[in-house]
Structure 1
């Protein structure tokens, strides 16, 4: 059973993470022999490992052997047989990770999906969407918007959303996994930095004091003060030097923190569009439009001859019907166009956000490497970084089921299922004479599946954001603890400004209403409600023998709710992305201060 599960990619698994930061390459001796994991295992199994040999696996760490005075490099934690997670940020600002969120190494399908995710957020995909829309509008104008013309848009949009849901889910799961590894990397290095800075302080005290007991008592007092500190953001009472990087640098300016860079007109349009779409006003207008549409359905309309109507409203065509198929197709077409545009903008915003975060992280890691080199060379200390262990998160059985479905969507399994479904749909075209019902089948299927996907996307995203928030708060707290050890006054003005700005936003009525709607839509039991709605619609459509009207009844409410959920998802992304960019920028600001003071301390 385990082999079968692994074959399908371990869907639903969220194993714990073990991570150990690497030591800078500049500190690794040039005479070491570097071998990979497989070769190391072969050597161990054959008992041919020489004590003088040096092995590097996964993460490079270095220890100093006092007896042989030889340097030993090891990437994995020697106390465990578990393979450590590892990652690298490429020059194109994408992550290269050895293990995915399900605990398995990435395969070819994963790499292909990652490339598709990157393409979906590009300006090329944006232009493709608008070219398709323009062609569709022109064709409708030429042929007077026939029924099949609307069905084509609905089918095309449903298929596009079906594919985009796969890419959005994968992007969401991968991004959350990447940020957990980033926090592990920062924590692993911060632990070393605090230990080495304490040793430097201790050696200085030993040189300046003849009484060893006094020195130890002083160090105990320092440790006690740090451990008993209930407010890591508390001022130390010291002043920054005039040449210290401070508020003059852009990275310390609260007004610029968290903002995405705008490189062209497309970025500007994307920013404005995501802000407008993901707003409470848009939510209100959306439901007002739906109410108006429902009211219009009560007006008898010509063009549907499935049932006679006794009244004569035109004098020529006595066949009218309220809430007709054409009436349903009108809202389906409008929502289809809206979904097509919204998913494109959301994918772009996510891609730009990930690129922005990766760029800041590259700068943070560069400064961490410089700090690591300075401290280790000063103390001639090459002890491995601490192994950070993130245990598997506690989940309810319902959340495990949701994660299983999310993995089916965001992995190669979803692609295989989609290919089979599309193949079957095309195969039944001839028996169904390629008629209206056949055209609607694929739209109905993708619409119902996309409806459930919307609930799952919201629930999984809400949990991911909450976990990332905890990890980054821990990183910032450790940053501030290191600054206390260094005697650096915390950037209180910047933090106060950010907290004040956040407080002003969260206290507004608009934010509270939006937050309530977001929380309600992202609850795990909302997914259950979505499934029950789909089951009910399938029963109704089956009772109507999946006729055109029956399929439209299954399509219409799901598309409306799916569009609403997309608006909610865009709003949630806007809030969470801004918060994450603020936190990453704050960590970078801390690195500027820490690097400056350590450089000055070691001078």
Structure 2
């Protein structure tokens, strides 16, 4: 059974992640030149004076001592370590999928499809297809089959897009958590170099992100002997610089209380606000439409249109009320809306992921600078970074089942099932004489499945974004503790995320999002699907029966797409603010390390 589960990608599994930041390869010539300008650290025990480095008003329960430290030489060989690589183009590569297995050829193929689906080319292609369909409808006076083709095409497109979107969400969170884990691994090494801290401490948190296996390292540092080193020279700055596009200003001062204050942080103010950079008209339009679609007014307008359509059903058309054509009209309208919304969502997600990963590249470059200075000062280029373990969040049995289904949708299993279904549908075309009922079958199937997918995607996204958020908060708390122990001032906006104003608009949106994100909402969707299948079966899956099964599912699916776009807008904006805050904190730490350990050369 285990082999079968592994063959299908272990759907539903969420194993603990173990990762240690790899050693950074520094240029030997730069290291050799830097040695003449770096102050050597005296190896002393700082444990006795550690309390003096923590602010007096810090509560006792904020920091707890980690009791179990295990040598990497004993533990790393026992753990299946996950690797993460930031490419120069901003894309993130991992050796393991979110289910804990090494990525297969199918995984890599699907990841490429996810990237491809969010490109500008695909966005243009969507509009070309839509315009061609509108022109054909105008020429042939919008026949019944013309509407069915749009519904079938859109249902099939959303069926595959649900697979790509599910995978994009799960993979993005998996990558971000691994990036945070790598930064946590490296910041612990910095902390040991700066504080001689072998007894690692961790912040007290309410969730289960448990700690790490750390290697032993010699205690080293004497903070009182370092106040004299306050500036870095142009030569070393040029040698260390790997963020060529950032002008690093050195406005730091060290006052008589040995407290470093940073007055100037070279950081993009648009990034701090959480806004995506506007590069051209296409980006401006895409961003504007995503916020328009994912808003409370859009939700209200959507339901107004639905109730107007219901009222129009009572008006006789060709002597018939609530006719098949009446249902087809709303199905077609919703199909067009779903087509546009799904492309917008995929595009916005792709742009957000690329933006954050490129920002992370700059953070990684600053980490490399800090690592070079500290390892040179300690004359230690071999001690490995500690392993950090991130446990998965706790799940109920229902949530485990939901994750199992989400993984089936987001892996190759879903594609195999889809191909089989489409093959069967094509095979029964001739016996059904390619009738209207035959055309509606595939739309009905993909519509019902897409209806369930909408609930599952929203519920899974709610949980994984909370898990991702917790890991970023954990990293910020570790940075805060290090800054307090080093008496470094850091603006509060770089350590916390601004809270949304509790406006009526926000409260309504939050309530709707929470209602749509519970495990019970998924159960309700399953019950609705069972009821619709029973109703359609009682009508022998006629055109009317299939439309009854199709219409409410498409309406609710579109509403969930609006809710999902809004949730993505909020979460993505918050993540960009957190990433920019992380960038600022690393810049502050880099300035501190440079001013503390790098001497001004004699000329």
Scaled to the shorter chain, the TM-score interval is: 0.7 to 0.9
The change in CA–CA distance for 1:581 and 1:207 in structure 2 (over 3 A counts) is closer
**Partner residue of 1:581?**
576
The change in CA–CA distance for 1:203 and 1:342 in structure 2 (over 3 A counts) is closer
Cα deviation, residue 78, structure 1 = 3.9
The change in CA–CA distance for 1:239 and 1:493 in structure 2 (over 3 A counts) is farther
1:288 to 304, 326, 329: 304
The change in CA–CA distance for 1:493 and 1:514 in structure 2 (over 3 A counts) is closer
Q: Secondary structure at the match of 1:300?
A: coil
Can you list the C-alpha shifts for 1:399-424, whole angstroms capped at 9, x where unaligned?
A: 11000000000000001001001111
Correspondences of 1:146-545 after superposition (within 5 Å) = 146-199=143-196, 203-204=221-222, 244=262, 246-247=264-265, 249-251=266-268, 253=269, 256-302=272-318, 320-381=319-380, 382-492=382-492, 499=498, 502=499, 505-545=500-540
Larger Rg: 1
Aligned counterparts of 1:76 and 1:286: Cα–Cα separation in 2: 60
Structure 1 residue 562 corresponds to structure 2 residue 580: no
Q: Secondary structure at the match of 1:367?
A: helix
Q: Give the unaligned 5+ runs of structure 1.
A: 30-73, 209-235, 303-319
Q: Secondary structure at the match of 2:591?
A: helix
Structure 1 residue 92 corresponds to structure 2 residue 89: yes
Q: Secondary structure at the match of 1:173?
A: helix
Of stretches 141-150 and 262-271 in structure 1, the one that deviates more from structure 2 is 262-271
Cα deviation, residue 261, structure 1 = 1.3
Q: Residue 19 of structure 1 contacts residue 387 of structure 1 at CA under 8 Å; is this kept in 2?
A: yes
User: Which TM-score applies when normalising by structure 1?
Assistant: 0.81
Cα deviation, residue 478, structure 1 = 1.1
Cα deviation, residue 530, structure 1 = 0.4
Aligned counterparts of 1:205 and 1:480: Cα–Cα separation in 2: 19
**Partner residue of 1:313?**
none
Aligned counterparts of 1:77 and 1:364: Cα–Cα separation in 2: 31
Cα deviation, residue 493, structure 1 = 6.0
Cα deviation, residue 495, structure 1 = 5.8
The change in CA–CA distance for 1:422 and 1:205 in structure 2 (over 3 A counts) is closer
Correspondences of 1:10-89 after superposition (within 5 Å) = 10-26=10-26, 78=75, 80-89=77-86
Of stretches 540-549 and 253-262 in structure 1, the one that deviates more from structure 2 is 253-262
Cα deviation, residue 199, structure 1 = 3.0
Can you list the C-alpha shifts for 1:548-596, whole angstroms capped at 9, x where unaligned?
A: 0000000000000000000000000000000011001100000111001
The change in CA–CA distance for 1:202 and 1:336 in structure 2 (over 3 A counts) is same
Q: Secondary structure at the match of 1:301?
A: coil
Q: Secondary structure at the match of 1:18?
A: strand
Aligned counterparts of 1:291 and 1:207: Cα–Cα separation in 2: 75
Aligned counterparts of 1:489 and 1:440: Cα–Cα separation in 2: 64
Q: Secondary structure at the match of 2:80?
A: coil
Q: Residue 455 of structure 2 contacts residue 525 of structure 2 at CA under 8 Å; is this kept in 1?
A: yes
Aligned counterparts of 1:174 and 1:529: Cα–Cα separation in 2: 27
Can you list the C-alpha shifts for 1:278-321, whole angstroms capped at 9, x where unaligned?
A: 0000000100100000000011111xxxxxxxxxxxxxxxxx21
User: Which TM-score applies when normalising by structure 2?
Assistant: 0.81
Aligned counterparts of 2:412 and 2:521: Cα–Cα separation in 1: 26
Cα deviation, residue 93, structure 1 = 1.6
Cα deviation, residue 264, structure 1 = 1.6
Aligned counterparts of 1:342 and 1:598: Cα–Cα separation in 2: 47
Aligned counterparts of 1:408 and 1:329: Cα–Cα separation in 2: 31
Q: Residue 486 of structure 1 contacts residue 597 of structure 1 at CA under 8 Å; is this kept in 2?
A: no
Of stretches 147-156 and 100-109 in structure 1, the one that deviates more from structure 2 is 100-109
Aligned counterparts of 1:586 and 1:256: Cα–Cα separation in 2: 7
Q: Secondary structure at the match of 1:203?
A: coil
Q: Secondary structure at the match of 1:389?
A: strand
Q: Secondary structure at the match of 2:190?
A: helix
Aligned counterparts of 1:281 and 1:206: Cα–Cα separation in 2: 60
Q: Give the unaligned 5+ runs of structure 2.
A: 30-70, 198-218, 227-255, 599-603
Q: Secondary structure at the match of 1:395?
A: coil
Aligned counterparts of 1:205 and 1:239: Cα–Cα separation in 2: 12
Q: Residue 245 of structure 1 contacts residue 596 of structure 1 at CA under 8 Å; is this kept in 2?
A: no
Aligned counterparts of 1:531 and 1:434: Cα–Cα separation in 2: 30
Aligned counterparts of 2:374 and 2:494: Cα–Cα separation in 1: 27
Give the number of equivalent residue pairs. 507
Cα deviation, residue 245, structure 1 = 6.3
